[in-house]
């Protein structure tokens, strides 16, 4: 395990379960005649309930790592255990079922269904998880209340601001009580103040729900919200922030 930066670490905390355990993760692509290694042997361990950031320059391999840890991409080498279940070697179908039951996703572009209202976007995810009818409606409303958007439940995504869309996306990620949330640049499309509010919200809800959060980000302003920051460069985890890491400059400094 490579611990680079601890913002909220508590050394006196009781021993917790490991939510994510990755060992020797490699990912190679064939680009024309050349083999390209996006990940060159990653070892990573994340404890249950932590909020951890994956940071690094563009093309460093963070999103690939996130996709692999989420069971969406299969690594060319290495082993991954999520929530006590070894996922490397699982069939596509079983992996999908595992994701459905255990992982919530938040995306940079929100990825909401444009034809569905805020509530329906959450209901559709609940439907996917087998929760239907009145139970799905009730849960969707409860989640929207949690992200303070109950009054916008009938709005289509096009009628919501960027921050509101991401709050719906967070509510959707929390639908069905996942134990792990994977987020890809969740604040990239938002201005700094809204980005910070969203992160505070995510942190609060994750703690309330007992979720582990792993987030890819470029945004250094949200480091203080995380328990730990892991830096990735050239497909490897490095012990400190890379010298050439150029994160976008915040428009507003978070308090």
Partner 1 sequence: MVSIARKNLFQDLPRFIVAQAGIMFAVGLVTIQVGLLNGFTRSSTLLIENAEADIWIASKELQHLDLTLPLKYKILTQAKAVQGVERAEALIAQSTVWRYQTEQIAPIRIIGFDPKSQLFHPHPILEGNLEQINQPYSIFIDSLDLKQLDVQGVGNQSEIGSFKGKVVGLTKGIRSIVSSPYVFTSLPNAVAYLNSPIASPQKNPPVPAPLTENNLITFVLVKARPGEDIQGLKARLAKALPDTRILTQSELTELTQKHWQQSTGVGYILGLGAVVGIIVGTVVVGQILYSSVTDHLKEFGTMKAMGSSDWFIYRIILEQALWMAILGYLPGMGLCLSLGAWTMNVQAIQILIKPLTAAGVFLVTVTMCSGAAVFAIQKVTRLDAALVFKS
Among residues 226, 199, 192, 114, which one has the least CA distance to residue 159?
114
Establish how many alpha carbons lie within 13 A of residue 98's alpha carbon, considering only the half-sphere containing its beta carbon: 19
Fill in the per-residue mask, 41 to 80: x = in contact with partner 1 (CB under 8 A), - = not in contact.
----------------------x--xx--x-xx-------
Q: What is the CA radius of gyration of the chain?
A: 18
Establish how many alpha carbons lie within 13 A of residue 160's alpha carbon, considering only the half-sphere containing its beta carbon: 29
Residue 164 binds partner 1 (CB under 8 A):
no
Q: Which of 90, 116, 238, 247 binds partner 1 (CB under 8 A)?
A: 116
Minimum separation from the CB atom of position 36 to partner 1 (A): 16
Residues 6+ apart with CB under 8 A from 39: 25, 26, 27, 61, 64, 65, 68, 75, 235, 236
Fill in the per-residue mask, 118 to 157: x = in contact with partner 1 (CB under 8 A), - = not in contact.
--x--xxx-xx---xx--x---------------------
Among residues 206, 200, 203, 201, which one has the least CA distance to residue 177?
206
Residue 108 or 166: which CB sits closer to partner 1? 108
Q: Which of 22, 53, 82, 103 binds partner 1 (CB under 8 A)?
A: 103
Residue 77 or 100: which CB sits closer to partner 1? 100
Minimum separation from the CB atom of position 78 to partner 1 (A): 17
Residue 5 or 189: which CB sits closer to partner 1? 189
What DSSP character marks residue 3? -
Whole-angstrom distance, CA of residue 36 vs CA of residue 28:
5
Q: Which residues bind partner 1 (CB under 8 A)?
A: 63, 66-67, 70, 72-73, 93, 96-101, 103-105, 107-109, 111-116, 120, 123-125, 127-128, 132-133, 136, 184-185, 188-189
């Amino acid at each position: 395990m490579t611990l680079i930066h601890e913002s909220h670490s508590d050394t006196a905390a009781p021993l917790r379960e490991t939510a994510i355990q990755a060992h020797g993760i490699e990912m190679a692509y064939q680009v024309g005649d050349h083999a390209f290694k996006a990940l060159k042997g990653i070892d990573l361990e994340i404890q249950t309930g932590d909020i951890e950031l994956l940071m690094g320059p563009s093309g460093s391999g963070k999103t690939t790592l996130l996709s692999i840890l989420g069971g969406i991409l299969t690594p060319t080498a290495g082993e991954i255990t999520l929530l006590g279940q070894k996922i490397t070697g699982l069939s596509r179908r079983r992996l999908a079922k595992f994701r459905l039951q255990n992982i919530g996703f938040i995306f940079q572009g929100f990825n909401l269904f444009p034809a569905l209202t805020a509530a329906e976007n959450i209901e559709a995810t609940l439907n996917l998880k087998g929760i239907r009818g009145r139970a799905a409606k009730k849960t969707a409303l409860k989640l929207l209340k949690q992200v303070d958007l109950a009054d916008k439940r009938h709005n289509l995504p096009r009628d919501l601001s960027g921050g509101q869309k991401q709050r719906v996306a967070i509510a959707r990620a929390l639908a069905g009580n996942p134990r792990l949330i994977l987020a890809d640049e969740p604040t990239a499309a938002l201005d700094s103040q809204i980005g910070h509010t969203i992160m505070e919200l995510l942190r609060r809800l994750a703690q309330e729900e007992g979720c582990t959060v792993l987030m890819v980000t470029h945004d250094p302003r949200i480091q203080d919200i995380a328990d730990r920051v892991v830096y990735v460069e050239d497909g490897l985890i490095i012990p400190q922030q890379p010298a050439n890491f150029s994160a976008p400059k915040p428009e507003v400094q978070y308090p």
